[in-house]
Structure 1
Amino acid sequence: MTRNTLILLAAGGSAALMLGALGFQYIGEMPPCKLCYWQRYPHIAAIVIGVSALFLSTRALPALGALAALVTAAIGAYHTGVERKWWEGPTSCTSGSVADMSSSDLLAQIMAAPLVRCDEVPWALFGLSMASWNMLASVALAVIWIMALRKA
């Protein structure tokens, strides 16, 4: 495969993942949590990098594309751990212990809680959540970006 074909494949993969996420959000009526949004930003960057790399022949752009894919994979891995309760996520999208809270503090936490929690899985396929699938797909996209970098 040529460098441009690999770049199109990698950036197109990020575009497909973004379309899938937007489909779940708007068609499937599954609003994203904070960590879901965080996973989208590197994909957007990878799409912009991919379009730019088609017009600018520089080794830096495929490297940046690979970095963007690896960043979203890392966020997906972190999000998977939050969903599986391996560790706590951001306090703005998970629930901690309420044992030591007063009733007024608990009520304040409930009223300030976001509608979409990062530690709940709204959809899974073969036991893997969307965050897990994003992680796996993004690692594959990083490999494609690296293959494009080697062709540069």
Structure 2
Amino acid sequence: MFPTASTGATQTLSAGLLVVGMAATVGIALGFEHIGGYIPCMLCLEQRTPYYIGVPLMILALLASALKAPPLITRGLLLAGGALMLYGMALGIYHAGVEWKWWAGPADCGAGSAGPNTGGNLLDQLNAVVPPSCSEAAGRFLGLSFAGWNALASALWAYVAIRAAFKR
């Protein structure tokens, strides 16, 4: 009834969507940090790593698909991107569980106290900044913390990547 796209076109579109979607997801997190003033905890920063690796990987997948590289290369890159997003989803679920007190978080991810601020130089000011505890959500929107929203976004991007990798 409707014309279907070829596998190559589907993979090219999917890789392009993944580049934009993954970059936008991590861009929003960076916006909340640098524009909104939210200081990320250790787990928040760790959840960005799959995106920092995934965006360039999906750019490679987009190029491989657009340049008609062997399908195994494009599929492999998309599958690797999907695996990264599954890892990101697991991190988001873990962090959200820590925030909801369902399980304990890492021992080195808690609010601490800063030493006395004796000088006025930049290094002293940086030492005075204490990252927030991983067990406290910076905020919630529609009942989900940033970690919860990241878990959903990662699940979406994992689905897109894996579906495109196995598209016949």
TM-score higher than 0.5: yes
Partner SS for 2:166: helix
Runs (4+) off by over 2 Å: 109-115
Code of the aligned partner of 2:101: K
The answer for the alignment partner of 2:25 in structure 1 is 17
Partner SS for 1:151: coil
The percent of aligned pairs where both chains have the same amino acid is 37
The answer for the alignment partner of 2:48 in structure 1 is 40
Code of the aligned partner of 2:21: G
* Pairwise CA RMSD: 1.8
Code of the aligned partner of 2:33: Q
Code of the aligned partner of 1:9: L
Structure with the greater alpha carbon radius of gyration = 2
5+ long unaligned stretches in structure 1:
96-108
Identify the match of residue 151 of structure 2 among 106, 121, 135. 135
Q: Retained in 1: the 8 A contact 2:40–2:131?
A: no
C-alpha separation in 1, matches of 2:19 and 2:62: 10
Alignment of 1:77-96 (within 5 A): 77-94=93-110
Report the CA distance between 1:111 and its aligned residue. Answer: 4.7
C-alpha separation in 2, matches of 1:54 and 1:110: 46
Q: Retained in 2: the 8 A contact 1:88–1:94?
A: no
Q: Retained in 2: the 8 A contact 1:42–1:68?
A: yes
The answer for the alignment partner of 2:125 in structure 1 is none
Report the CA distance between 1:140 and its aligned residue. Answer: 0.8
C-alpha separation in 2, matches of 1:115 and 1:142: 29
TM-score after normalising by structure 1: 0.84
5+ long unaligned stretches in structure 2:
116-128
Q: How many residues align?
A: 139
The answer for the alignment partner of 2:126 in structure 1 is none
